[in-house]
Amino acid sequence: MTIYGVALLALCSLVGLVAGEALGFVLGVKANVGGVGFAMLLLLFLTDWLKREGRFTAPSAGGVMFWSAMYIPIVVAMAAQQNVLGAIKGGPLAFLAGAIGVGASFAMIPFLARLGRPKKKDGA
Of 43, 47, 104, 109, the residue nearest 75 (C-alpha): 43
What is the 3-class SS of 43-105, one letter each residue? HHHHHHHHHHHCCCCHHHHHHHHHHHHHHHHHHHHHHHHHHHHHHHHHCHHHHHHHHHHHHHH
pLDDT at 103: 94
Give residue 15's pLDDT. Answer: 94
Report domain extents, the chain.
2-85
- What are the 10-residue block averages of pLDDT along the chain, 124 residues in total? 78 91 89 84 87 83 74 69 67 80 91 77 60
Q: What pLDDT is attached to residue 73?
A: 73
Cα 15 from Cα 65, distance rounded (Å)? 19
**pTM beyond 0.95, yes or no:** no
Q: Which amino acid is residue 12, in one-letter code?
A: C
pLDDT of residue 78: 67
User: How much is the pLDDT for 107?
Assistant: 94
Q: How far apart are CA 84 and CA 33, in angstroms?
A: 15
Read off the pLDDT of residues 39-65 as tens digits, 9 standing for 90 and up: 888 988 888 888 888 888 888 777 777
